[in-house]
Structure 1
């Protein structure tokens, strides 16, 4: 009898992406409901250096006479899943190569602490507007969860895990990932989706698995 494959969902993500802020909280809910499905997070870097200088995302001054804009698709999804979008953030577009490398460091050196690192980095960037491209900021995060910051920062500075990160556009598109977060269950995938869709995919995956 052939051994069953591992129960696993692969999640393509980047800390820079607001949809992934929703995604990390959806994934946390998914793990609570389906602890038997292992989550494999893969960093898909939205703005690698090869794409050139970072775009300017300086917010435009608000016109007090302009009527309020209708809710965006992102805002509607966040409301549907009960996830607050942090307001009054003071940081714009950054490079995420270091924090994505940090995630790979955790996988290889302290996999039991990966989830704590992943969520802490998302919260640092989205809730506290911290510059997670800065090795000092990341060092403080890992020290707070019990990791030696010296070894961690040395490995990241040496780009020890760069080959584990998938870059947009070409490399990501070659893997059929065009958006993050993308949740991949065996042959099914969804991107920028409500939790109900992700949950339904998990249920279909488990039904297929249990028939084997």
Structure 2
């Protein structure tokens, strides 16, 4: 790809539907542009019980969930994605922690993809430790090493570090994307992403 490289830092959570759509769109854009993407963790519902919570029990106004799901479904269908909505909201903390272990072992991309697809395409409970361990093992990660890692402060510190990074930009939600020095919040259209990318490319080419 004979193009200047653009660095992207993307903040997301596995249980955020707009994060999955944003992920899918970024992956498609990587087929066209030289984007070097670093995915960073952000836990949007740390209050969720370890065992998860039924969607119907979440404290939202009547009709909110239905409208939100319809909006997400519409956005996904624009990309030809058929989402499978689970009836439970998992606690994503363990998935985020194990993803940081995968990063240390240079397996982050594979694990990240598998967890997103397990939840959004297959409707699986990604708060389930056994499921996450099996996903990790399927890409060659050692379960005993993961257990040792989880018994340290490192995964907690990594997630907190990412939270502080994002808040320095003045944001407290995901998905958020930092393209070099330009910020995009939300799962925006390809047109919005491309406008920012092309602006950065033009600037880089003019600098040379």
Q: TM-score, normalised by structure 2?
A: 0.78
Is residue 2:3 matched to residue 1:9?
no
Are 2:7 and 2:37, in contact at CA under 8 Å, matched by a contact in 1? yes
Is residue 2:143 matched to residue 1:155?
no
Q: Does the residue aligned with 2:11 lie in a helix, a strand or coil?
A: strand
Q: Which 10-residue stretch deviates more, 95-104 or 13-22? A: 95-104
Is residue 2:71 matched to residue 1:76?
no
Separation in 2, partners of 1:175, 1:122: 25
Are 1:91 and 1:130, in contact at CA under 8 Å, matched by a contact in 2? no
The structure 1 residue matched to 2:38, chosen from 12, 37, 40, is: 40
Q: TM-score, normalised by structure 1?
A: 0.77
How many residues align? The count is: 195
1:18 deviates by 1.0
Unaligned stretches of 5+ in structure 2?
59-65
- Once the two structures are superposed, residues 143-174 of structure 1 have per-residue CA deviations (whole angstroms, 9 ceiling, x without a partner) of 11111122123312434311111499998545
Structure 1 runs (4+) greater than 6 angstroms displaced: 51-55, 68-71, 167-171
Separation in 2, partners of 1:117, 1:71: 25
Q: Let me know the Cα RMSD of the aligned residues.
A: 3.2
Structure whose residues are more often helix by fraction: 2
Unaligned stretches of 5+ in structure 1?
61-67
Q: Does the residue aligned with 1:28 lie in a helix, a strand or coil?
A: helix
1:95 deviates by 1.2
Separation in 2, partners of 1:153, 1:140: 13
Are 1:166 and 1:172, in contact at CA under 8 Å, matched by a contact in 2? no
